[in-house]
């Protein structure tokens, strides 16, 4: 019997080739997204399983309870906690810190910002990242580096023994290369690990600092988590007494097993890179939604052919077939389609696997073998059974008498057919995805091309080589014909500020505000077209370095009155340096559009200069660039020229092409599934109305009249889908834009192109098929009837 089911199923697949292709393609597209989600979910439960003792390793969490009894959970812990536990409790075998370090490193040639952490000697014993060359960084001023970061710093040269400079912390010698990618997925990510022996002792003894470092404890064998947490309770009570914060009621510590970190059950402040259940549910939801669109196609096309299949059902029942046997036939066809779709989905998965977004956010680092393949097959069979259940149940319910009277119509509400409802759902989802993606793309374009309040046209940015003075280069550039200004800055505007500090008006520090600081020279303000509201620009040589320029937001934050009233008033910076206000500049967006305008302080500190901003005359961009490159080669013959136009820098900084490309693939898949379903429905509709078309043509109907008659029902479905998707798209778009302080609007400029594309593709799908039917020879049509 089972053999006959599959034999008939293959026969039907060959008979209805177009419908079979549509169903296989749709199921493959949906399953490909589901397979991506399944791989990521599988990998999420494999986090940190390669370490030596994951069952005995715990991360310490801190619960901070405020005076109003609000509780906040942190993934970090006070830095002295590890040493206290190791010293006072004999069941602790090892304790280690994982402390974030910020800032730039340079090796004398390049300046990079790797993801850096301070670690102690126990880190290399608790965690199992293999050191593929050299030794661990346990001595003061030593470091281990990942292979990928070593190549960025030193190219193909051996990094062992190389020295990199880290700001005021000094020089660090690379002692080893560590591998943090091939062992498996981990909630920790890093490029560089520095020996914590280089940290000042007070940094590791400050109980008030509970947000900068992660603490891990390795328990001795046989010690339970309950025993450990009882000890943490007593330490927490002592911690609360030591800190004595006026805003904090109490501190509590929890032990989180290494195996329980991923997937995360709760949202933690200062969390690491473990996936959350919400992320996994979203991924699976997107995959299942895409698969559901393909299932709609299967239901649609199967029910569209219900009249021909109803005769088959009637004959089966007349000769004694039972309902479950008829259902089994339809379910067998569905499973075969699903398995064929799985094969095509696997091919698609291999095609998109190299995409950077897929590797970075989904399946990068996941190891999967035959167990995962078996899971795919089981998932495919289940998907096929679910897809075939609705049409199998409906078609197997037909009675022979109903078949003879052709009572096969299916109604949902108020005469709207089930098939039409499914088409509306498909196009609504596709249009919603298209609107959301277009809003995101417009926002990224706006962030790259919008008005930041400073001039960036005809401005070339050049990184200053680490450890070298740029004076010779600046003097040489001034002599070039097309160069009008050469400004120096500590960082480029339009990105996240690197130097943020507390500033005060009084020595008591009771009136502090957080202020972003940039170091500039006297040519930056005219070069970028910034407007001084009061005061003076920096002098060509400002030896005092105690004069600063602030923006209007800083003026308000410090309560300095008007721009003129603020001149000469003093501000105290976090390093206790007292500076006076020399000028007030008009507000401009020095940071990304993600953040609202904040207080800004411009100062003259040549030792912090890292970039040149070279302004060239209009119309001389090409010749000036060639001249600047020539000067660079003369001064630095062995260093590559890294100059970049400011517009290109902002475009690169704010455009996320890889992410958009993947989202575009998802949208294209959803749209193609919907269009395939529409094509199948239009094809079947025109085939069943062949006689009607022939009669209309014989009676004198024009081709355009026949096309309209055949198309109107489907055009109406597109209109209904648009009415459903537009308000949902507006809400989804606004949900995205609320994350940006400055964003684009959502109106006809957003909906217009999306609707135009919808009706263009939908119209072509409908029009081409109905046109073929309308121009057919009516004699052949009537004779075939």
Q: Nearest Cα to 10, choosing from 283, 334, 435, 284?
A: 334
Mean pLDDT value across the chain: 84
Same domain, 361 and 405: yes
Same domain, 468 and 537: yes
Each residue of 235-260: pLDDT tens digit? 888 777 777 766 678 888 999 999 89
Q: Residue 316: how many CB atoms within 10 A of its CB?
A: 18
Q: What is the total count of domains within the chain?
A: 3
Which of these three, 195, 226, 260, is where a domain ends? 260
CA angle 716, 722, 724 (to 5 degrees): 110
- Residue 408 has a pLDDT of 42
Residues belonging to the chain: 785
The answer to whether position 364 is within a domain reads yes
- Residue 305 has a pLDDT of 64
The answer to whether position 77 is within a domain reads yes
The answer to whether position 703 is within a domain reads no
Q: Beta 105-106 vs 131-134: how paired, if at all? A: unpaired
More confident residue, 515 or 304: 515
Same domain, 338 and 480: no
Least confident interval from 387-401, 484-498, 687-701, 728-742: 387-401
Q: Residue 211: how many CB atoms within 10 A of its CB?
A: 15
Which of these three, 227, 260, 293, is where a domain ends? 260
- Residue 241 has a pLDDT of 76
Same domain, 17 and 83: no
Contact call for residues 504 and 571 (beta carbons, < 8 A): yes
Same domain, 119 and 171: yes
Contact call for residues 588 and 553 (beta carbons, < 8 A): no
Using the predicted structure, report yes or no on whether residue 772 has a pLDDT greater than 90: no
Distances (CA, A) of 333 to 317, 323, 345, 679: 19, 16, 18, 21
CA atoms of 542 and 565, how far apart (whole Å): 23
Using the predicted structure, report yes or no on whether residue 766 has a pLDDT greater than 50: yes
Q: Nearest Cα to 37, choosing from 278, 287, 263?
A: 287
CA atoms of 332 and 502, how far apart (whole Å): 69
Using the predicted structure, report yes or no on whether residue 661 has a pLDDT greater than 50: yes
CA atoms of 290 and 26, how far apart (whole Å): 9
CA angle 281, 285, 289 (to 5 degrees): 175
Region for 161 from its dihedrals, namely left if φ exceeds 0, alpha if ψ lies in -120 to 50, beta otherwise: left
The DSSP line for 48-116 is: TTTSS-GGGEEEEEEEEEETT--EEEES---TTHHHHHHHH-TTEEEEEEEEEE-S-EE-SS-EE---E
More confident residue, 643 or 19: 643
- Residue 416 has a pLDDT of 47
- Residue 137 has a pLDDT of 93
The answer to whether position 266 is within a domain reads no
Each residue of 398-441: pLDDT tens digit? 666 555 454 444 343 333 466 678 788 888 988 888 898 889 88
CA atoms of 385 and 332, how far apart (whole Å): 8
More confident residue, 746 or 391: 746
Least confident interval from 6-10, 160-164, 456-460, 567-571: 6-10
SS3 of 174, please?
Answer: strand
- Residue 780 has a pLDDT of 64
Contact call for residues 589 and 654 (beta carbons, < 8 A): no
More confident residue, 330 or 716: 716
The percentage of residues in the chain with a pLDDT greater than 70, rounded to a whole number, is: 90
More confident residue, 495 or 194: 194
Burial class (CB in 10 A: 0-12, 13-18, 19+), 545: middle
Which of these three, 260, 291, 311, is where a domain ends? 260
Contact call for residues 569 and 584 (beta carbons, < 8 A): no
The predicted model scores a pTM of 0.72
The answer to whether position 679 is within a domain reads no
Same domain, 16 and 78: no
- Residue 402 has a pLDDT of 55
Distance of CA 366 to the CA centre of its chain: 18
SS3 of 749, please?
Answer: helix
Residue-number span of the structural domain to which 496 is assigned = 459-654
Each residue of 135-158: pLDDT tens digit? 999 999 999 999 999 998 888 889
Each residue of 443-488: pLDDT tens digit? 988 988 889 999 999 999 998 887 677 888 999 999 998 899 999 9
Ranked by mean pLDDT, the top range of 377-391, 535-549, 555-569 is 555-569
The tokens of 211 are what? 């947000």
- Residue 308 has a pLDDT of 61
More confident residue, 213 or 781: 213
Each residue of 357-368: pLDDT tens digit? 777 767 776 777
Same domain, 18 and 100: no
Same domain, 86 and 230: yes
The answer to whether position 166 is within a domain reads yes
- Residue 273 has a pLDDT of 87
The answer to whether position 476 is within a domain reads yes
Using the predicted structure, report yes or no on whether residue 189 has a pLDDT greater than 70: yes
Contact call for residues 711 and 767 (beta carbons, < 8 A): yes
- Residue 401 has a pLDDT of 56
CA atoms of 160 and 174, how far apart (whole Å): 5
Using the predicted structure, report yes or no on whether residue 327 has a pLDDT greater than 90: no
pLDDT range class, residue 540, cuts 50, 70, 90? confident
pLDDT range class, residue 304, cuts 50, 70, 90? low
User: Tokens 């000469």 map to which residue?
Assistant: 568
The residues with which 252 forms a beta bridge, in sequence order, are 63
DSSP label of 607: G
CA atoms of 377 and 31, how far apart (whole Å): 11
The percentage of residues in the chain with a pLDDT greater than 90, rounded to a whole number, is: 31
Same domain, 518 and 627: yes
- pLDDT, mean of residues 70-84: 88
Same domain, 256 and 187: yes
Contact call for residues 615 and 529 (beta carbons, < 8 A): no
Same domain, 114 and 199: yes
The answer to whether position 149 is within a domain reads yes
Same domain, 524 and 572: yes
SS3 of 603, please?
Answer: strand
């Amino acid at each position: 019997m089972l053999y006959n089911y599959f034999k008939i199923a293959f026969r039907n697949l060959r008979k209805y080739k177009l419908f079979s292709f549509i169903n296989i393609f749709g199921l493959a597209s949906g399953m490909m997204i589901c397979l991506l989600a399944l791989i990521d979910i599988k990998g999420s439960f494999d986090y940190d399983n390669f370490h030596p003792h994951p069952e005995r390793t715990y991360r310490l969490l801190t619960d901070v309870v405020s005076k109003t009894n609000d509780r906040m959970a942190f993934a970090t812990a006070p830095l002295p906690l590890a040493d206290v536990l190791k010293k006072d409790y004999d069941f602790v075998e090892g304790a280690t810190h994982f402390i974030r370090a910020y800032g730039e490193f340079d090796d004398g040639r390049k300046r990079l910002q790797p993801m850096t952490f301070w670690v102690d000697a126990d880190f290399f014993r608790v965690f199992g990242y293999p050191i593929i060359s050299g030794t661990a960084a346990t001595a003061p001023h030593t470091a281990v580096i990942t292979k990928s970061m070593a190549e960025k710093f030193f190219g193909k040269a051996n990094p062992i023994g190389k020295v990199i400079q880290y700001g005021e912390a000094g020089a660090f010698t690379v002692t080893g290369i560590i591998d943090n990618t091939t062992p498996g997925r981990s909630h920790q990510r890093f490029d560089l690990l520095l020996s914590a022996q280089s940290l000042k002792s007070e940094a590791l003894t400050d109980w008030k600092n509970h947000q900068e470092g992660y603490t891990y404890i390795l328990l001795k064998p046989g010690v339970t988590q309950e025993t450990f947490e009882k000890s943490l309770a007593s330490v927490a009570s002592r911690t609360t007494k030591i800190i004595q914060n006026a805003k904090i009621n109490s501190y509590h510590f929890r032990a989180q097993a290494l195996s329980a970190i991923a997937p995360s059950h709760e949202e933690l402040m200062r969390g690491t890179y473990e996936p959350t259940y919400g992320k996994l549910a979203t991924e699976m939801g997107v995959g299942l939604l895409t698969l559901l669109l393909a299932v709609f196609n299967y239901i649609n096309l199967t029910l569209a052919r219900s009249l021909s299949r109803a005769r088959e059902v009637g004959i089966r029942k007349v000769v004694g077939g039972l309902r479950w046997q008829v259902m089994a036939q339809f379910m067998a066809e569905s499973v075969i389609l699903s398995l064929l779709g799985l094969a095509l989905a696997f091919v698609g998965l291999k095609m998109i696997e190299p995409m950077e977004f897929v590797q970075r956010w989904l399946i990068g680092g996941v190891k999967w073998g035959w167990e995962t393949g078996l899971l795919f097959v089981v998932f495919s069979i289940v998907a096929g059974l679910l897809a075939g259940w609705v049409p199998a149940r409906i078609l197997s319910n037909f009675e022979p008498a109903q078949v003879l009277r052709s009572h096969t119509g299916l109604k949902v509400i108020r005469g709207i057919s089930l098939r039409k409802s499914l088409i509306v759902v498909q196009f609504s989802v596709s249009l919603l995805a298209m609107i959301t993606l277009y809003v995101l793309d417009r926002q990224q374009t706006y962030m790259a091309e919008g008005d930041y309040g400073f001039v960036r046209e005809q401005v070339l940015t050049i990184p200053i080589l680490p450890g070298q003075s740029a004076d010779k280069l600046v003097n040489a550039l001034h002599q070039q014909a097309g160069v009008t200004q050469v400004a120096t800055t500590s960082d480029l505007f339009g990105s996240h500020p690197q130097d943020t500090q507390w500033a005060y008006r009084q020595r008591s520090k009771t009136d502090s505000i957080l202020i972003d600081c940039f170091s500039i020279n006297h040519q930056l303000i005219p070069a970028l077209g910034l407007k001084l509201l009061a005061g003076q620009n920096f002098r060509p040589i400002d030896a005092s370095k105690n004069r600063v320029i602030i923006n209007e937001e800083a003026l308000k934050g410090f309560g300095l009155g008007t721009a003129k009233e603020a001149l000469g008033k003093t501000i105290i910076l976090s390093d206790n340096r007292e500076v006076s206000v020399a000028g007030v500049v008009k507000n401009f967006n020095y940071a990304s559009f993600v953040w609202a305008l904040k207080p800004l302080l411009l100062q003259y500190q040549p030792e912090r200069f890292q970039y040149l901003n070279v302004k060239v005359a209009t119309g001389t961009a090409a010749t000036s660039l060639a001249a600047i490159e020539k000067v660079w080669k003369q001064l630095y013959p062995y260093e590559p020229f890294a100059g970049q136009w400011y517009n290109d820098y902002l475009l690169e900084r704010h455009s996320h092409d890889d992410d958009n490309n993947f989202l575009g693939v998802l949208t294209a898949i959803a749209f193609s599934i919907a269009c395939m379903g529409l094509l199948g429905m239009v094809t079947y509709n025109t085939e069943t109305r062949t006689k009607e078309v022939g009669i209309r043509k014989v009676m004198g109907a024009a081709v355009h009249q026949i096309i309209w008659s055949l198309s109107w029902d489907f055009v109406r479905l597109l209109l209904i889908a648009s009415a459903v998707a537009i308000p949902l798209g507006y809400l989804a778009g606004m949900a995205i834009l609320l994350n940006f302080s400055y964003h684009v609007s959502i109106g006809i400029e957003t909906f217009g192109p999306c609707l135009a594309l919808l009706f263009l593709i939908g119209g072509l799908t409908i029009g081409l098929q109905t046109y073929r039917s309308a121009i057919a020879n009516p004699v052949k049509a009537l004779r075939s009837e």
